[in-house]
Amino acid sequence: MIVRTVERYPTEGQAWRAVESFRLTVNSQAPNENILFGALVDRYVREKLPKLHSTASKYRSWINHHVKLKWGGIPIRKVKPLLVEEWLMSLDLAPKSKGHVRSIMHILFNWAMKWEFIDIDRMNPMSLVRVEGSSKRLKEFRVLLDELQEPTRTMCIVAACLGLRASELVGLQWGDFDWKALEVHNQTGSCRRSG
């Protein structure tokens, strides 16, 4: 398999890091204690990035501009909740944006457990990471839910839990849910033209 040119990866170390995610896919039965977080990110982007373009674009942006820059060269097992929380606090981002970055980290750790790069725990380690300013929004959301009628209340819960935009929410279908894999593949969105 040709990955990229020598101009893209001029050193041997850069080339090895670039092919690590491919190697992990091929050798999935042979766990490695020193799998780099960057290899996990590369495999996720290659195989599991959401199909919807707008969602994939946002995920890619958070991953490339924040997650991979900070954690790409570090072994997965050394990416600890306290370190991630301190890093998030240091970012010059709004609390909502920090929450998005934390969510991406949570998704990546879910896949690290599914692919058995790390031990399958009862809890994703990123569940321990708190983002300042997010608890206030959660309280406000709960107050809002108490005021809503069905089916709007359920729609808001689904949108919040899955991180869906309004157009993605109304385009959601039963076939988008993979109950065995506990995944949602939202491949359609609803769009309304004005005029």
Question: What's the pLDDT tens digit per position in 100-143?
Answer: 999 999 999 999 999 888 888 678 889 889 888 765 666 777 78
What is the per-residue pLDDT for 34?
81
Residue 195 DSSP code: -
Q: Are residues 179 and 153 in the same domain?
A: yes
Q: Are residues 94 and 17 in the same domain?
A: yes
Mean pLDDT, residues 131-157 taken together: 80
Which carries the bigger pLDDT value, residue 13 or residue 26? Answer: 13
Q: DSSP letter string over 133-163?
A: THHHHHHHHHHHHHHPPTTHHHHHHHHHHHT
Query: pLDDT, tens digit, for every residue of 61-113?
Result: 999 999 999 999 999 999 999 999 999 999 999 888 898 999 999 999 999 99
Structural domain of residue 125, as residue ranges? 1-132
Q: Give the closest residue to 41 by CA, choosing from 97, 105, 101.
A: 105
Tokens coding 169: 């929410």
Q: DSSP letter string over 14-57?
A: HHHHHHHHHHHHHTTTS--TT-BHHHHHHHHHHHTS-SSHHHHH
Query: pLDDT, tens digit, for every residue of 36-56?
Result: 999 999 999 999 998 888 888
SS3 177: strand
Q: How many domains does the chain have?
A: 2
Q: Give the closest residue to 40 by CA, choosing from 144, 110, 100.
A: 110
Query: What CATH number does the domain containing 40 carry?
Result: 1.10.150.130
Q: Are residues 159 and 99 in the same domain?
A: no
